[in-house]
Amino acid sequence: MKKFLKRAVVITLTVAMAATMMTGCKKKKKDAATLVVGTNAEFEPFEYVSSKDAVIDKYSGIDIEIIKKVGEENNKTVKIENMEFDSLIIALNQKKVDAVIAGMTITPERSEEVDFSEPYYTAKQVMIVREDNTDITKAADMSGKKIAVIQGFTGQTVVEDDLKFPFEAFKKGTEAVTELKNGKCDVVVIDSATANQYLKENEGLKIVEDNEAFESEEYGIAVRKGDKDTLDMVNASVKKFKEDGTIDAISAKYAAASETAEDSEEPSSEEGSEEANTEE
């Protein structure tokens, strides 16, 4: 009887161990079904934190929608890791994230460190100045002006390497725009869609374009160099979403949303007439 009991215990333990191992395997499988994606959620309309229209966790934006769809297409749950823009490529190469989507322009320098997907969005740099500024009508006019850029963005590369003008680099776009509004700098160089967003959120600013000085840029999703599986997966989805209009529809949705937000800031005709009444 004792022997029987001992055997029963051994069997139970073996089954329990096997079950634990299987759970372990299952967990591993689950991890493989998660795509960890790095971003810098301070780049509206591409990625930002939003409580009301969140897409993954608290994150929203064109890029977040695109990467969510890439996940869905490939049976993967997307987990967002939010960090500074400058840390994204490092995190990717340290295997802390599997991919990066951050309105990141495909550049030769970055392509030495990571592999980029097919481009999914075309952008360009623009200049934001105060509305009353008449000095800056083209990029060359920034000579001798106080120029603000965002650290590590392609706007910095253009000012530093192409135009060779001195500049001040800020950690965040919002910081640079605040400096501009407060008259502490004369111009902010940043990507066009984000510049438009800042104009909607801040009064007294305007955008100056120079399509000769600022060449068009293309955004790509970055993966680790040589990670062919992730690259192929991302590329197949990006290609599909470009062809079937998914990316256009997502971009249009965000453009329309920011226009509606702008409209709602203006008084409605009813409020307007009330105001007129009060003034009478």
Q: Which of 105, 133, 235, 237 binds ligand GLN (CB under 6 A)?
A: 105
- 104 touching ligand GLN, by CB under 6 A: yes
Hey, how many other C-beta atoms are within 10 angstroms of the C-beta on 218? Answer: 15
Tokens standing for residue 254: 């965000």
CA 80 to chain centre: 11
Strand, coil or helix: 71: helix
Smallest separation (angstroms) from ligand GLN to the CB of 125: 8
- 191 touching ligand GLN, by CB under 6 A: yes
Cβ proximity to ligand GLN: between 74 and 107 the closer is 107
- Distance CA(237)–CA(242), nearest Å, equals 8
- Find where tokens 């395997």 sit: 25
Q: Which of 59, 116, 153, 170 binds ligand GLN (CB under 6 A)?
A: 153
Strand, coil or helix: 273: helix
Smallest separation (angstroms) from ligand GLN to the CB of 82: 12
**Total binding residues toward ligand GLN, as defined by CB under 6 A:** 10
- 103 touching ligand GLN, by CB under 6 A: yes
- 251 touching ligand GLN, by CB under 6 A: no
Smallest separation (angstroms) from ligand GLN to the CB of 102: 4
Residues paired with 223 in a beta bridge? 99, 115
Q: Which of 48, 59, 85, 116 binds ligand GLN (CB under 6 A)?
A: 85
- Distance CA(132)–CA(237), nearest Å, equals 45
- Find where tokens 């949303």 sit: 257
Q: Tell me which residues touch ligand GLN (CB under 6 A).
A: 40, 43, 85, 102-105, 153-154, 191
